[in-house]
Amino acid sequence: MLIGRDCPTFIIAEAGVNHNGSIDLAKELIAKAAECGADCIKFQTFKADKIVLRDTEKAEYQKKNTGSQESQFKMLQNLEMPTAWYPELIEECRRHNLIFLSTPYDTSDIAFLEEFNLPAYKVASAWAVEPVFLKALAKTMKPILLSTGMCTGAEVYEAVQTIRECGNNKIILLQCTTNYPSRNEDCNLMAMKNMGKSLNVLTGYSDHTQGLAAATLSVGLGASVIERHFTLDKSFPGPDHSSSSDPEEFAQLVVAVKESEKILGNGIKTPCAAEIINKKAMRRSIVAACDIPKGTRISSDHIAYKRPATGVSPKHAEHMIGRISAKDIAKDSFLYFNDLSVR
C-alpha cells in the first residue's frame, strides 16, 4: 500500500502493549483491527532492561492506570513480546490483509525486526532526539514514521537532518501530544502542516485525544497517516487501555476519515455530476425584457436574464447590444443571435 499526498489516508491501529502478554489477545486485536477498517496494526518491540533502569518510576499516566506499586521496569518487562510471537502475528496479519509494523526501542530491536523485512518503521516520540538510534534506523533505508511528541521545532529539524544525512529521505513526521489521553487544546495540528511545508516531508497525526475532531481535522490539513491506540476493552488492566479506542470507536474513526477524504475531494475545481444536472434549471439565459418590434436596435433595456439555461448565456449579452432585430420578438422569448442582424 502506498502512502502519499494523493493516496488514501493510511490508518494505523496502535496495539502497542495492549496484548497484555497474551498472544491470543494479540491475534484478537489483529482480527478486530481488520474488521474496523484499519490498514495496519502496530506493536512494540523492546526489552525492558535495554530501555529503563530497574528503579525508574512510572510516568504519571502509567501510575494512574496501573498503580505505583511496581516499577516501570517491571511493568514493561511483563509487556515484552516474545520473539516466538512474531512469525505467528505477521502471518495473522497476512490472513486479515493487514500490514504488520512494530516500534523498535533499541538498535538490537532494529536488527531483530529486519529479519522479518518489515515495510517501514515507527519511531516513538521519546526516541526522536537520539541520533545514534535514528542513524541505525535510517540505514535500513525503510520509510520512517517519526512521532514528534515533546519535541521543539529545532529538535524535529535535527532528527530529519540526521535521517537524511544517511541517505534516507523516506520520512513521515507525525504530530503528536505525549499525554494519554491528550486534550484537544494541546493538539496543535497547525504544527503538523507547518512541519510538512518547512521540511518538505509527508505528515500525519498520532492521535491520543478522545473523540473524532482532531483526527478528521488532520485529514483536512494534509495528514497522510493517522495512528490511534487500539484495545478490545478500555477496562482491561494495563497502562494504555483506558486511553485507547475500542473497536466501536475505532470503526467510527475510520468512517470519519473516509468521509473527510470524500469531502476534501481532489482539489480540481469542476462541477460534480449533480451540479451538471442542476445547471440547466439554476442558471439563466438571455430573454427579451419587453416586446421587441422588428427593426429595433437592441440596447440593455431590451435584455433580461431568466431561467432556464437553455438559451444564450448571459456572458454573451454585450455582443447583442447594437444589433437590429430581424423579426418581432415577444417579451420573455429567448434572444438568439440568428434573430438579430449585424450592426
Clarify whether residues 243 and 311 are in a common domain: no
Q: What are phi and psi of 28, to 5 degrees?
A: -65, -40
Give the full edge-to-edge strand order of the sheet including 121-123: 99-104, 40-45, 10-16, 225-229, 202-207, 171-176, 144-147, 121-123
pLDDT of res. 69: 81
Answer yes or no: do 179 and 286 share one domain: no
Residue 180, helix vs strand vs coil: coil
Strand partners, 288: 303
Total structural domains in the chain? 2
Contact assessment for residue 305 and residue 314, using Cβ atoms and an 8 Å cutoff: yes
33 with 130, same domain: the answer is: yes
**pLDDT value of position 125:** 97
Both 92 and 215 in a single domain? yes
Closest CA to 306 of 317, 319, 294, 322: 317
In a domain, 1, yes or no: no
pLDDT at 65: 82
Q: Please report, for the domain that includes residue 328, its CATH number.
A: 3.90.1210.10
CATH code assigned at 33: 3.20.20.70
Residue 114 lies in domain: 10-264
pLDDT at residue 343 in the model: 62
> End of a domain among 264, 285, 304?
264
Residue 2 placed within a domain: no
Domain boundary, last residue among 264, 299, 330:
264
State how far the Cα of 239 lies from the Cα of 68, in Å rounded to an integer.
11
Q: Are 238 and 66 in contact (CB under 8 A)?
A: yes
The residue among 167, 165, 163, 168 whose CA lies nearest residue 148 is 163
Shared-domain flag, residues 210 and 235: yes
At residue 66, the pLDDT reads: 83
| Residue 32 domain-assigned (yes or no) | yes
Residues 170 and 301 in one domain: no
Q: Are residues 194 and 301 in the same domain?
A: no
Judge whether 107 lies within some domain.
yes
The answer to the question of residue 3 being in a domain is: no
Question: Is 327 part of any domain?
Answer: yes
CB 178 within 8 A of CB 150: yes
| Predicted local confidence at residue 58, as pLDDT | 85
Task: Point out the domain boundary residue: 264, 298, 333.
Answer: 264
> Number of helices and strands (H, E) in the chain?
12, 12
Q: Is residue 5 part of a domain?
A: no
Cross-strand bridge partners of residue 41:
13, 100
Q: Tell me: do 320 and 176 sit in the same domain.
A: no
Residues 131 and 180 in one domain: yes
The reply to whether 75 and 103 lie within a common domain is yes
Same domain flag for 154 and 67:
yes
Classify residue 286: in a domain, yes or no. Answer: yes
pLDDT along the chain (343 residues), means of 10: 91 97 98 98 96 88 83 91 98 98 98 98 98 98 98 98 98 96 96 98 97 96 98 94 96 97 94 96 98 97 98 97 97 97 77
CB atoms within 10 A of CB 22: 11
Distance, in Å, from the CA atom of 201 to the CA atom of 62, rounded to the nearest integer, reads: 33
Same domain, 249 and 278: no
